[in-house]
């Protein structure tokens, strides 16, 4: 498939006039059409018009390294290649080809129509509407495909055609029409909203289901009109329609929380459980400070549906403060019968700070600030205890403390203890001395006796 883009002036689907934006410049959108490739792309431009008119039977085409001899059908397909001044002549030839008696030429003209219409669209969609009912089924199918391609680019031109084709009894025509509406939701959601509005009034539920599936797309740019469509779909008698509409609520909650809250309040009491769960998901996306959302959750905690109660009870810790949560959980415990929810509610009621174990309570205690050393010394000098450590005066002095303490600071008891310590030290040293090894002198070794040694102090020594 080949994507071709051209500029297209956007027009109001109701009036057909160009739409202006703020600075009064024409609002333009890129028109994207899809066209199949083929040998017709290799035709020389000067051969396209004569070949499409049938003035020449064939023309040579060089495409993908091959030579082809092409006929009138290929010439009609190649009309979409002509732009600028040549597009006027291409438009005339295409209108003529749409009226051809040859089905193959009509099909080729329909295949070229989306791209040629970007250059000049006069009368083309009138003929497209006619050929949708062509006797030849192949022509009708080609017209249906051309509608699907053209719809996002020409919303005003195909609006009336889509009304009929969306409800067609022919399957391929209906499928292509819904494909066209789906593509239109990307470029012109307000036009799609009008189609959905009418489709939601259909008695056949299949149309309402298909229309509800488009709500998610138009919700982004459809504005208040899209909100009304969601509201109507939530009131539909079909469970499937309400389910599809409810699935858009979480997305709407992110964009328009107030509107989503109103819709969720209605959906949470729906008879269908899938709708109720979607409403809960929407509330989860809403700001927890939203008072109306809190009221919806609190009422949902007493719902008869177990899934709704479970979802709402699980939301309570997010919405309520700790004190309010415990009070609310105590009230719900009186009526709750489900074992799992009872367990969850008891956990909400339990206050670890007050009812927990000693270790659990200690988790909530903040560490005290350290006391400066100067303040600690002043307090201890006044006999005040700091922390759990005992005062220095309460400690029993050790022997080392007494020995190092000056004598004038000793108490009587400490002085006696110090004297006892000194005596013990003296005795210990004497015992060590007695046990020490005694060395003998030289006189003792050689047998000299001190008694026979001359006495230099006697009177006989006076002569000396």
Q: Where are the domains of the chain?
A: 247-365, 398-428
The answer on pLDDT for 431 being more than 90 is no
Of 14-28, 54-68, 176-190, 314-328, the least confident: 14-28
- pLDDT band at residue 38 using 50, 70 and 90 as cut-offs: confident
The answer on pLDDT for 173 being more than 90 is yes
Identify the residue with better confidence: 76 or 455. 76
pTM, full prediction: 0.61
The pLDDT assigned to 84 comes to 85
The pLDDT assigned to 366 comes to 62
CB 221 within 8 A of CB 189: yes
The pLDDT assigned to 39 comes to 86
Identify the residue with better confidence: 142 or 405. 142
Identify the residue with better confidence: 141 or 280. 141
The answer on pLDDT for 315 being more than 80 is no
The pLDDT assigned to 11 comes to 56
What fold does the segment set 247-365 form as a domain?
A: 1.25.40
CA–CA–CA angle 71, 74, 75 (5° rounding): 85
Determine the Cα–Cα distance for residues 173 and 146; give it in Å rounded to an integer.
Answer: 11
CB 399 within 8 A of CB 414: no
The pLDDT assigned to 387 comes to 65
CA-wise closest residue to 308 among 333, 334, 284: 284
The pLDDT assigned to 396 comes to 57
Give the number of other Cβ atoms within 10 Å of residue 93's Cβ. 24
- pLDDT band at residue 279 using 50, 70 and 90 as cut-offs: confident
CA-wise closest residue to 151 among 123, 199, 116, 191: 191
Determine the Cα–Cα distance for residues 390 and 97; give it in Å rounded to an integer.
Answer: 111
The pLDDT assigned to 2 comes to 40
281-295 burial, b for 16+ CB within 10 Å, e for fewer? bbbbbbeeebeebbe
Structure tokens at 56: 């020449």
CA-wise closest residue to 117 among 168, 80, 75, 62: 80
CB 18 within 8 A of CB 55: no
Structure tokens at 129: 């509407």
The pLDDT assigned to 147 comes to 92
Structure tokens at 156: 């005003």
CB 135 within 8 A of CB 128: no
Element of type H or E holding 251: helix 249-255
For the segment 117-129, the average pLDDT, to the nearest whole number, is 90
Q: Over the chain, what is the mean pLDDT?
A: 78
- pLDDT band at residue 268 using 50, 70 and 90 as cut-offs: confident
The answer on pLDDT for 102 being more than 90 is yes
């Amino acid at each position: 498939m080949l994507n071709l883009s051209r500029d297209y002036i956007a027009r109001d689907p109701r009036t057909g006039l160009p739409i202006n934006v703020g600075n009064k410049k024409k609002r333009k959108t890129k028109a994207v059409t899809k066209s199949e490739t083929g040998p017709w792309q290799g035709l020389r431009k000067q051969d396209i018009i004569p070949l499409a008119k049938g003035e020449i039977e064939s023309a040579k085409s060089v495409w993908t390294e091959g030579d082809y001899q092409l006929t009138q059908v290929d010439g009609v397909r190649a009309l979409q290649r002509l732009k600028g001044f040549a597009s006027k002549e291409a438009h005339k030839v295409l209108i003529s080809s749409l009226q051809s008696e040859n089905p193959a030429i009509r099909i080729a003209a329909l295949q070229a129509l989306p791209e040629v219409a970007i250059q000049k669209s006069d009368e083309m969609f009138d003929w497209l509407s006619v050929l949708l009912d062509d006797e030849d089924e192949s022509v009708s199918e080609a017209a249906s495909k051309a509608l699907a391609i053209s719809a996002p680019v020409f919303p005003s031109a195909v609006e009336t055609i889509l009304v009929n084709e969306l409800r067609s009894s022919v399957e391929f025509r209906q499928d292509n029409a819904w494909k066209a509406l789906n593509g239109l939701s990307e470029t012109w959601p307000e036009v799609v909203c009008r189609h959905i509005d009418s489709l939601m009034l259909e008695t056949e539920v299949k149309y309402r289901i298909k229309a509800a599936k488009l709500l998610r797309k138009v919700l982004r740019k459809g504005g208040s009109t899209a909100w009304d469509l969601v509201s109507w779909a939530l009131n539909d008698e079909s469970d499937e329609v309400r389910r599809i509409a409810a699935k858009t609520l979480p997305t709407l909650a992110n964009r328009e929380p107030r509107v989503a809250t109103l819709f969720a309040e209605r959906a949470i009491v729906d008879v269908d459980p899938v709708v109720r769960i979607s409403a809960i998901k929407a509330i989860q996306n809403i700001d927890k400070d939203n008072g109306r959302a809190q009221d919806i959750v609190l009422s949902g905690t007493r719902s008869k549906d177990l899934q709704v109660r479970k979802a709402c009870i699980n939301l309570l810790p997010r919405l309520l403060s700790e004190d309010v949560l415990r009070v609310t959980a105590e009230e719900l415990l009186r009526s709750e019968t489900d074992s799992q929810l009872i367990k969850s509610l008891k956990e909400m009621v339990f206050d670890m700070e007050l009812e927990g174990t000693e270790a659990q309570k200690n988790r909530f205690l903040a560490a005290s600030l350290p006391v400066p050393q100067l303040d600690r010394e002043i307090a201890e000098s006044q006999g005040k205890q700091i922390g759990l450590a005992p005062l220095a005066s309460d400690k029993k002095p050790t022997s080392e403390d007494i020995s190092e303490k000056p004598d004038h600071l000793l108490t009587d008891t400490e002085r006696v203890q110090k004297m006892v310590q000194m005596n013990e030290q003296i005795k210990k040293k004497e015992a060590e001395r007695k046990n020490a090894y005694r060395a003998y002198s030289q006189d003792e070794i050689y047998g000299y006796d001190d008694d026979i040694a001359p006495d230099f102090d006697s009177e006989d020594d006076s002569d000396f």
